[in-house]
Amino acid sequence: MRTMEVQTIYCDVGHRGTKRMPWSEVCLHMNVQDRTMEFEVLPSGMVQLYKDGRVFSSPITSGEAGLYHNTDNESRFYYHPNLG
């Protein structure tokens, strides 16, 4: 039996990274589900998506982008870059 190690990345506002987008309603609407996208966590807590370094869409909520609030520190987020 093969096990997959799940990587967790913690981040703050201003963090830029890449991750596989989840199958959320918004990602489905934008047709980016299960695709690796660049993103930035904005001061509002929203997430800006980028494609090839350019703004892809209007900002979306962190949950729709697959970023979640850290329960120990509400201003921090965490995500799993390879899980969609």
What is the tens place of the pLDDT at every residue in 41-59? 999 999 999 999 999 999 9
Q: In degrees, to the nearest 5, what angle opens at C-alpha 15 toward C-alphas 74 and 64?
A: 65
Percent of the chain with pLDDT over 90: 77
What length does the chain have?
A: 84
Distance separating the N- and C-terminal Cα atoms of the chain: 22
Taking the model in full, what pTM does it have?
0.87
Give phi and psi for 71, each to the nearest 5. -65, -25
- The secondary structure of residue 67, as a DSSP letter, is -
Q: Edge-to-edge, what's the strand order for the sheet holding 16-20?
A: 16-20, 36-41, 47-51, 54-55
